[in-house]
A and B are shown apart, each in its own frame.
Chain A
Amino acid sequence: MSLDLHAGFLVFALLLLALAAIPLAHTRRGPSIVYALAALIAAAAAVSAFLAAAGGTPLRVQLPLGLPSTGMRLRLDALSATFAFIVNMAATITSLYAVGYGRHEPEQGRCLPFYCLFLLGMNLVLVADDAFSFLLAWEFMSLSSWALVVVRHREEENRRAGLLYLTMASFGTLALLFAFGVLAGGAGAYAFDQIRARTLEPYAATLALVLALVGTGSKSGLVPLHAWLPPAHSAAPSHVSALMSGVMTKVAVYGFIRIVFDLLGAPEWWWGMLVLSLGGVTAVLGVLYALIQHDLKRLLAYHTVENIGIIYIGLGLALAFEAHRMTWAAALAATAALFHVFNHCVFKSLLFFGAGAVQTATGERDMEHLGGLIHRMPKTAFVFLVGCVAISALPPLNGFVSEWLTFQAILLSPDLPEWGLKFTVPAVGALLALSAALAAACFVKAFGITFLGRARTPAAERAEETDRFSLAAMFAFAALCLVAGILPGFFIDALAPAVTSMVGGRMPVQTALPWLSIVPIAESRSSYNGLLLFLFITFAACVAVYVIHQFASNAVRRAPAWDCGYPDASPATQYTAASFAQPIRRVYGTVIFRARERVEMPPPGEMRAARLTVDLRDLVWDWFYAPVVVAVTFVADLLNPLQFQTIRRYLALVFIALVSLLTVIAIWP
């Protein structure tokens, strides 16, 4: 399919659908029809992107819109086609989920049209080939997702989340605007081809890198620019949360790759170090934040921050290797990052779907009010468990493979000559391992408190299994988790064209290897075979089941729980989300969150209940955001008198400003 057809089809189909959604939103079957059509459109776009990724030669179109001399240029090369495939694949399944889930939305008119526009915005970012269209599409994506964040605008908390998101998104776009300004230079060469042809001064390249990191990092949730992400992602309806967390953050990663790997030219070694360290810190802080949450969707959103950190670790390593022309190592690191992009998109969407299903069934997002849902929603519980295992990087599912590849890339880095990297890389490796282990703890908590144990509220006790569209979408993603985990070779090979366009090389072909193993460098060095491991575990489990049921007692007696002889009938005696996280909060949180626990024990004889107060501070907010808020308020107060002037004074001010500007221009050399 040619690009004008791909882009044109997307623009017209999604715009028409958005328009049609306005009247359809008020009918009974309308929302389901709109979501089903969106699923079809996204599926067609995914197929077209897949063909384009396999096709090889980049597709280009130039439209007579946009900037006068540049026009609106679109381009679909291997990198953007790979991302377009991931985005549209996820959008297809998300729309399928929404066919069932979207019915429960109270105000459809606020959600449906923007959903279509949001899909369009993300797709346009991926095909933009000049700075103007890129920023336009980026802002389009931001604004349409903002509208989705404030769908449930009657809740105060959601409005605040929306305001914070809007502020941070504008800030990010501002940084990107300057980044493209630096890249394009004074002559205004805004087309990406012209930018590629330029060679930047070192200081300008550095400036562009930092601006791009801030601009895209604020959208993808890099610490310390992540503060908006958890409230915004959890405020939106669950299918939109899945898109924002699973897909939009990936579009931001695409923006980073496009600017830094493609447009900026040859990297310096310390760029890798900067990105790597930011990634490591983001990964660990993200998962620690996630661990202390007890709102299921907020926990998932914080966990997105962790996974973005892992992706940036891979990208940082790729930059460091590329700076030293170690193409094979850079290819390994870039493949690890891109594979994690795909994997995170799959399992995070799956988990958000599960959280949405739970919310629909019980009306609760707070884990402390849930429990025992595995009995009431067995299918949702099963797929949610698959997602939890995958995101905790446990074999044989997909999350493990991409983290394994990242570890293999780290093990190649002693060959890097710089001392800074020699110290940073092992430390980041330790941070990555720490975040993987903490992620497992986090998802034992998320699954265990929500689905296991006894129901903590009547709402959880009355929950019912979710509808079949939602289940179909969740099972599709769960199957993808398994397939990508046991047959990673196919996915790695499919990512090869994108990796080649990033670092100029690729990993060796994997699918030709015997038994479908993956071997990043050489078999004597490291290899992994998810398929065999899966078969091995299945075989061992079958042997155990067979032997036990052949030779051991088969009798089962149901009885009350043992609990050392002191079972308590009240579900309030179970472990809660807060108590589960308490040991970890105590180990890590005393420094990072300044966690303080206070126990108030009433004196003997008094019948008052004892109280435990936990005080947590978000140091990133305290040190990074609070001063900004104070400064902005201070400046605003200073400028406030300017708002209440007479017309004469305003005219005087305008005149003075004009004169001083002209003076500056006159004096400027």
Chain B
Amino acid sequence: MAVTPDLFVQGLEMFLVLALAPLLTGFVRVVKARLLRRRGPPLLQPYRDLARLMGKQVVLAENASWLFRVTPYVVFATTWVAAALIPTFATGLIFSWSADLIAIIALIASARFFQALAGLDIGTSFGGIGSSREMMIASLAEPAMIMIVFTLALIAGSTQLSTVSQIMASGVGLRVSLGLALVALILVAIAENARIPVDNPATHLELTMVHEAMVLEYSGRHLALIEFAAMVKLLLYISLIACVFVPWGIVKPGAEPLAYLVGLALYPVKLAAGGFLLALFETSMAKMRVFRVPEFLGIALMLGLLGTLLLFVSRGGL
């Protein structure tokens, strides 16, 4: 096995998700602003925000425990590892077999677990409201996601993301269950990334907020890491949708160098398309009340379950 190029691809992938994540967030913000006829922030503003936060001192609440200070690193590390395990431009990732799609979801759940704990650590009511609502949303989003994984895994015969992507690229035809899974995955991705209509990433000081309330007490480098992790998570979900439903151009192991270049060039295009659709979706919709969210995610769960059921009752049919 040619380890060196594989290792290089994996390293590039890990670097790429970090490098592109703020750009994607900046792009979504620009598109949203333009759709609202605003000029909007510069495309590179998220990088500047992160750099500025890194340089600031941390203002820590007096009763913050060690958990509060460790959480940003845990959240960042688990999100980064999860993102690095998703094939973005090449499938032959050297470590892709160490965790399948179920493990990737569980990694994201770990990040959320620690973030919700950190929200409770200071003992303020804002942190509590954020944590409690985040866990309520997750309690529906996660099973919906598992059902989507079931659908994909039953079609591809594998929960390994590289294999799923390759099989989807080789053509499985149009299937009802795949369509259901796609819609469900988009709903889950919106909820997981705290986007409109579930949550609003742009607000502060509003009782309906979830994610922002949880991280309210963070500042300086800790906040930078958490914001960065949120950006990586957005990139992760768009990459996930892209690698499963638009797998064309993703390089198989042992391909020509030219194929790698094509894959590398196509990946930002897919991200941009995903980001644009997200911005379009967000501007065309109003935020919903927090207790409407279970209905929204209930739809995702039911669609995922329906997709799986269809596959169970008709092997190879629909």
Query: Measuring CB to CB, which residues of chain A are less than 8 angstroms from any residue of chain B?
Result: 371-372, 374-375, 378, 385, 389, 392-395, 400, 404, 407-408, 410-411, 413-414, 419, 422-423, 425-427, 429-430, 433-434, 436-438, 440-441, 443-445, 447-449, 452-454, 515, 517, 523-529, 532-533, 536-538, 540-541, 544-545, 548, 551-553, 555-564, 567-568, 571, 573-575, 579-584, 586-587
Contact = CB atoms under 8 A, between A and B. Distances in A.
B133 A583 contact: yes
Nearest to B62: A558
Interface in B100-152: 100, 102-103, 106-107, 109-110, 112-113, 116-117, 119-129, 131-133, 135-136, 138-143, 146-147, 150
Interface in B185-219: 204-205, 216-217, 219
B313 interface: yes
A441 B138 contact: yes
Interface string B63-88: 10111000001101110110010000
B157 A525 contact: yes
B318 interface: no
A485 to B, nearest CB: 11
Contact of A414 (B102, B154, B163): B154
Contact of B60 (A404, A443, A556): A556
A651 to B, nearest CB: 65
Contact of A548 (B62, B123, B225): B225
Given A423-B309, A430-B308, A436-B146, 16 more contacts: A437-B141, A441-B138, A444-B131, A448-B119, A453-B123, A515-B98, A523-B160, A526-B100, A529-B97, A537-B81, A553-B220, A555-B220, A568-B125, A574-B125, A580-B131, A586-B291
Contacts of B146: 407, 429-430, 433, 436
B54 A392 contact: no
A524 B76 contact: no
B8 interface: no
Contacts of A551: 54
Contact of B312 (A389, A422, A524, A541): A422
Contact of A562 (B61, B99, B112, B119): B61
Given A526-B158, A559-B62, A586-B291, A426 B150 contact: yes
Nearest to A545: B73
Nearest to B53: A552
B98 A532 contact: yes
Contacts of B56: 553
A560 B139 contact: no
B55 interface: yes
B181 interface: no
B99 A533 contact: yes
In the complex, the 9 A-B pairs of residues with the closest C-beta atoms, listed nearest first: A575-B128, A453-B123, A555-B57, A448-B120, A433-B146, A433-B143, A441-B135, A437-B142, A583-B136
B124 A561 contact: yes
B318 to A, nearest CB: 13
15 contacts: A392-B113, A423-B309, A426-B312, A437-B142, A453-B121, A515-B98, A529-B98, A533-B103, A536-B98, A544-B76, A553-B220, A561-B61, A563-B124, A575-B125, A575-B129
Nearest to B295: A587
Contacts of B141: 437
A540 B132 contact: no
Contact of A552 (B133, B158, B224): B224
A194 B128 CA distance: 60
A536 B221 contact: no
A93 B191 CA distance: 43
B277 to A, nearest CB: 27
B103 A523 contact: no
Contacts of B157: 525
A291 to B, nearest CB: 9
A562 to B, nearest CB: 6
B180 interface: no
B33 interface: no
**Residue of B102, B129, B217, B219 most packed against chain A (CB within 10 A):** B102
Contact of B73 (A392, A544, A555): A544
A5 to B, nearest CB: 44
Given A375-B63, A394-B109, A517 B294 contact: no
Contacts of A532: 95, 98-99
A537 B55 CA distance: 25
B99 A395 contact: yes
A484 to B, nearest CB: 16
A453 B116 contact: no
A407 B100 CA distance: 12
A442 to B, nearest CB: 9
Residue with the greatest number of chain A CB neighbours at <10 A, chosen from B57, B98, B125, B304: B98
Given A414-B315, A433-B143, A436-B142, A426 B309 contact: yes
Contacts of B219: 562
Given A371-B123, A452-B121, A523-B97, A434 B81 contact: no
A649 to B, nearest CB: 63
B128 A524 contact: no
A491 to B, nearest CB: 17
Nearest to B58: A556
Contacts of B183: none
A541 B76 contact: yes
B242 interface: no
Give the interface centre of B100, B123, B150 by most chain A CB atoms within 10 Å: B123
Nearest to A400: B106
B57 A556 contact: yes
A454 B270 CA distance: 47
B159 interface: yes
A165 B157 CA distance: 46
Given A404-B103, A524-B158, A533 B124 contact: no
Given A526-B160, A567-B124, A410 B77 contact: no
B92 to A, nearest CB: 13
A541 B73 contact: yes
A444 B117 contact: yes
B153 interface: yes
B311 interface: yes
Nearest to A582: B132
Contact of A375 (B65, B73, B159, B304): B65
B272 interface: no
Contacts of B290: 583
Contacts of A433: 142-143, 146-147
B7 interface: no
Given A414-B315, A527-B160, A558-B60, A429 B150 contact: yes
B305 interface: yes
Given A553-B221, A574-B125, A527 B106 contact: no
Given A441-B139, A561-B63, A561-B122, A537 B78 contact: yes
Given A532-B95, A553-B54, A561 B133 contact: no
A453 B308 CA distance: 42
A579 B65 contact: no
A285 B133 CA distance: 20
Nearest to A393: B106
Contacts of A429: 146-147, 150, 308
B312 A562 contact: no
Contact of B61 (A447, A555, A560): A560
